[in-house]
Structure 1
Amino acid sequence: MTTDLINDAPTPAMASSALTVDIRAVDPARDSKNIHVWLTHPRAHYWQMTHLDESGVRDYLGAVLDSADENGWVGSVDGVDCFYVETYLPSTLIPHDVVPTGPDDIGMHLLVAPPDGDGVRGLTNQIMAEVIDFCLRPIERGGRGGRRVIVEPDVRNTAILEKNRAAGFSPVSEATIMMGEERKRALVSVCDREDFEASELVALLNREDVEVVSSDDVHLASLAATPDTYSHLNPDTFAIAQRHLVAKALSEFAHERLIAPVPATGQNAGPNDWILKIEDTGPKDAGQSEDAAEFPDGGCVTYSFTARVLPLEHWVIDEVSITRRRGDTQLGLDAQELVVELQDALDIPENLMSTYLEELASTLASSAFKLAEAVKGRRPDSTDLLTSDFQSTEAAMTEGHPGFIANNGRIGFSLSDYRKWAPENGRTTRIEWVAATREHSQLSLGQGFDEAAHTDWALSAEERELFDTRIRSAGRDPEDFHLLPVHPWQADHRLAISFAADIARGDLLPLGAGLDEHQPQQSLRTFFNRTRADAPYVKVALAVQNMGFLRGLSPKYMRDTPAINDWVAELIGTDPVFGDAGFRVLRERTALGYTGDVYHRTQETNPHRKMLAALWRENPLTVLEPGQQVVTMASLLHRDHRGVAFASELIRASGRAPEDWVRSYLRAYLHPLVHALLAHDLVFMPHGENLILILDDHVVTGAFMKDIGEEVAVLGHRDLPGDVERIRALVPGEEKALSVFTDMFDGVLRHLGGILDADGVLSSEAFWILVAEVLDHYEAEHPELAHGLAGDVDLRAERFAHSCLNRLQLRNTVQMVDIGNQAESLLYAGTMRNPVAR
Structure 2
Amino acid sequence: MSTDKYWKQVNRTLLVKSLAELCYEQALIAKDEGAGRYSVTLKSGVIYSFKGQLTVWDWLLIDAQTIERQFEGQALPADDAAQFFIDASEDLEATSSTLGNLLHELANTLVADVVLLQKREGLDAQALATLPDEQLQCLLDGHPKAMVNKGRIGWGAQEFNAYGTEAAQGVRLLWLAVRRDLAVSGNSEQWDWPQLLAESLDEAQLQQLDRACREKGVSWQEFLPLPVHPWQWQHHIRQHYAQQIFRGDLVLLGEFGDSYLPQVSLRTLSNLERPRALHVKLPLTVLNTSCYRGIPGKFMRCGPALSEWMQSLCDRDEQLQLRGTGILQEVAGLHVPHSHQESVEGTPYRYRELLGATWRQSPAGLCAEGERHLLMAALLQKDAGGKSVAAALIEASGLSVEAWLTHLFDATVVPLYHLLSRYGIGLVAHSQNLTLVLRDNKVVRVLLKDFQGDLRLAQGEFPDRADLPESAAQVLDQLPANYIIHDLFTGHFVTVLRYLSAQLMTEIGLGELEFYGVLAKVLRRYQKSAQQDNADMTERFQQFNLFRPHIERVCINRVRLRQGYDDSAERPVPIVGGDLTNPLWLAEQESQQNQPETASALEA
With normalisation by structure 2, the TM-score equals 0.91
Structure 1 residue 321 corresponds to structure 2 residue 66: yes
Structure 1 residue 366 corresponds to structure 2 residue 112: yes
Per the alignment, do residues 412 and 669 of structure 1 end up closer, same or farther by CA in structure 2, a change over 3 Å counting? same
CA contact (8 A) 2:327 2:448 kept: yes
Task: Give the match for residue 601 of structure 2.
Answer: none
- Give runs of aligned pairs for residues 94-105 of structure 1, distance below 5 A: none
Task: Give the match for residue 338 of structure 1.
Answer: 84
Quote the Cα distance in structure 2 between the aligned partners of 1:813 and 1:702: 40
Once the two structures are TM-superposed, the CA of residue 816 in structure 1 deviates from its matched residue by 10
Task: Give the match for residue 582 of structure 2.
Answer: 834
Task: Give the match for residue 483 of structure 2.
Answer: 735
Once the two structures are TM-superposed, the CA of residue 466 in structure 1 deviates from its matched residue by 1.9
Moved more, 434-443 or 608-617: 434-443
Once the two structures are TM-superposed, the CA of residue 640 in structure 1 deviates from its matched residue by 2.2
Task: Give the match for residue 747 of structure 1.
Answer: 495
**Match among 152, 166, 190 for residue 448 of structure 1:** 190
Quote the Cα distance in structure 2 between the aligned partners of 1:748 and 1:596: 37
CA contact (8 A) 1:306 1:321 kept: yes
Quote the Cα distance in structure 2 between the aligned partners of 1:791 and 1:776: 13
Query: Equivalent residue of 1:307, what SS?
Result: strand
Moved more, 401-410 or 575-584: 575-584
Quote the Cα distance in structure 1 between the aligned partners of 2:563 and 2:417: 31
Task: Give the match for residue 634 of structure 1.
Answer: 377
Structure 1 residue 304 corresponds to structure 2 residue 49: yes
**Match among 348, 353, 359 for residue 94 of structure 2:** 348
**Match among 291, 294, 318 for residue 576 of structure 1:** 318
CA contact (8 A) 1:549 1:815 kept: no
**Match among 10, 30, 36 for residue 272 of structure 1:** 36
Query: Equivalent residue of 2:186, what SS?
Result: strand
Once the two structures are TM-superposed, the CA of residue 576 in structure 1 deviates from its matched residue by 1.8
Could you report, residue by residue, the CA deviation over 1:643-677 in whole angstroms, capped at 9, with x for unpaired residues? 22111111111111111111111111111111111
Could you report, residue by residue, the CA deviation over 1:429-475 in whole angstroms, capped at 9, with x for unpaired residues? 11111111122123311243334444444543333322221122124
Quote the Cα distance in structure 2 between the aligned partners of 1:758 and 1:440: 55
Once the two structures are TM-superposed, the CA of residue 355 in structure 1 deviates from its matched residue by 1.4
- Give runs of aligned pairs for residues 69-108 of structure 1, distance below 5 A: none
Query: Equivalent residue of 1:470, what SS?
Result: helix
Quote the Cα distance in structure 2 between the aligned partners of 1:788 and 1:742: 22
Could you report, residue by residue, the CA deviation over 1:513-552 in whole angstroms, capped at 9, with x for unpaired residues? 1220110011111100122243100001111111111111
Could you report, residue by residue, the CA deviation over 1:148-202 in whole angstroms, capped at 9, with x for unpaired residues? xxxxxxxxxxxxxx1xx4xxxxxxxxxxxxxxxxxxxxxxxxxxxxxxxxxxxxx
Per the alignment, do residues 819 and 769 of structure 1 end up closer, same or farther by CA in structure 2, a change over 3 Å counting? farther
Quote the Cα distance in structure 1 between the aligned partners of 2:541 and 2:226: 43
Deviation >6 Å, runs of 4+: 815-818
Task: Give the match for residue 356 of structure 2.
Answer: 613
Task: Give the match for residue 383 of structure 1.
Answer: 126
Structure 2 unaligned residues grouped into runs of 5+: 589-604
Q: Which residue identity lines up with residue 118 of structure 2 in the other structure?
A: A
- Give runs of aligned pairs for residues 154-553 of structure 1, distance below 5 A: 162=1, 165=2, 234-264=3-33, 271-280=35-44, 300-331=45-76, 332-375=78-121, 377=122, 380-397=123-140, 399-457=141-199, 459-553=201-295
Q: Which residue identity lines up with residue 397 of structure 2 in the other structure?
A: S
**Greater relative CO (CA pairs within 8 A, separation 6+):** 2
CA contact (8 A) 2:459 2:481 kept: no
Once the two structures are TM-superposed, the CA of residue 741 in structure 1 deviates from its matched residue by 1.5
Per the alignment, do residues 449 and 235 of structure 1 end up closer, same or farther by CA in structure 2, a change over 3 Å counting? closer
Could you report, residue by residue, the CA deviation over 1:582-611 in whole angstroms, capped at 9, with x for unpaired residues? 211100011111236433333444422211
Quote the Cα distance in structure 2 between the aligned partners of 1:532 and 1:446: 21
**Match among 761, 764, 786 for residue 512 of structure 2:** 764
CA contact (8 A) 1:658 1:761 kept: no
Structure 1 unaligned residues grouped into runs of 5+: 1-161, 166-233, 265-269, 281-299
CA contact (8 A) 2:428 2:488 kept: no
Per the alignment, do residues 250 and 431 of structure 1 end up closer, same or farther by CA in structure 2, a change over 3 Å counting? same
Q: Which residue identity lines up with residue 633 of structure 1 in the other structure?
A: M
CA contact (8 A) 1:691 1:706 kept: yes
CA contact (8 A) 2:138 2:165 kept: yes
Q: Which residue identity lines up with residue 291 of structure 2 in the other structure?
A: F
CA contact (8 A) 2:85 2:99 kept: no
Once the two structures are TM-superposed, the CA of residue 786 in structure 1 deviates from its matched residue by 5.2
Per the alignment, do residues 735 and 596 of structure 1 end up closer, same or farther by CA in structure 2, a change over 3 Å counting? closer
CA contact (8 A) 2:338 2:352 kept: no
Task: Give the match for residue 210 of structure 1.
Answer: none
Query: Equivalent residue of 2:300, what SS?
Result: helix
CA contact (8 A) 2:179 2:249 kept: yes
Structure 1 residue 803 corresponds to structure 2 residue 554: yes
Quote the Cα distance in structure 2 between the aligned partners of 1:423 and 1:788: 45
Task: Give the match for residue 67 of structure 1.
Answer: none
Per the alignment, do residues 710 and 676 of structure 1 end up closer, same or farther by CA in structure 2, a change over 3 Å counting? same
Quote the Cα distance in structure 1 between the aligned partners of 2:386 and 2:223: 51
Structure 1 residue 708 corresponds to structure 2 residue 451: yes
Task: Give the match for residue 92 of structure 1.
Answer: none
Query: Equivalent residue of 1:274, what SS?
Result: strand
CA contact (8 A) 2:188 2:331 kept: yes
Quote the Cα distance in structure 2 between the aligned partners of 1:741 and 1:556: 27
Quote the Cα distance in structure 1 between the aligned partners of 2:479 and 2:185: 32
Structure index of larger Rg: 1
Task: Give the match for residue 598 of structure 2.
Answer: none
Q: Which residue identity lines up with residue 740 of structure 1 in the other structure?
A: L
Quote the Cα distance in structure 2 between the aligned partners of 1:660 and 1:352: 47
Task: Give the match for residue 592 of structure 2.
Answer: none
Per the alignment, do residues 782 and 403 of structure 1 end up closer, same or farther by CA in structure 2, a change over 3 Å counting? same
Quote the Cα distance in structure 1 between the aligned partners of 2:10 and 2:436: 29
Per the alignment, do residues 788 and 567 of structure 1 end up closer, same or farther by CA in structure 2, a change over 3 Å counting? farther
Quote the Cα distance in structure 2 between the aligned partners of 1:351 and 1:741: 33
Task: Give the match for residue 212 of structure 1.
Answer: none
Quote the Cα distance in structure 1 between the aligned partners of 2:412 and 2:340: 44
CA contact (8 A) 1:549 1:813 kept: no
Quote the Cα distance in structure 2 between the aligned partners of 1:261 and 1:818: 36
Once the two structures are TM-superposed, the CA of residue 761 in structure 1 deviates from its matched residue by 4.4
Query: Equivalent residue of 1:346, what SS?
Result: coil
Quote the Cα distance in structure 2 between the aligned partners of 1:523 and 1:457: 21
Quote the Cα distance in structure 1 between the aligned partners of 2:404 and 2:22: 31
Could you report, residue by residue, the CA deviation over 1:18-47 in whole angstroms, capped at 9, with x for unpaired residues? xxxxxxxxxxxxxxxxxxxxxxxxxxxxxx
Aligned positions, number: 576
CA contact (8 A) 1:678 1:788 kept: no
Task: Give the match for residue 591 of structure 2.
Answer: none
Task: Give the match for residue 228 of structure 1.
Answer: none
Per the alignment, do residues 403 and 817 of structure 1 end up closer, same or farther by CA in structure 2, a change over 3 Å counting? farther
Once the two structures are TM-superposed, the CA of residue 747 in structure 1 deviates from its matched residue by 0.9
Quote the Cα distance in structure 1 between the aligned partners of 2:538 and 2:283: 39
CA contact (8 A) 1:803 1:828 kept: yes
CA contact (8 A) 2:346 2:569 kept: no
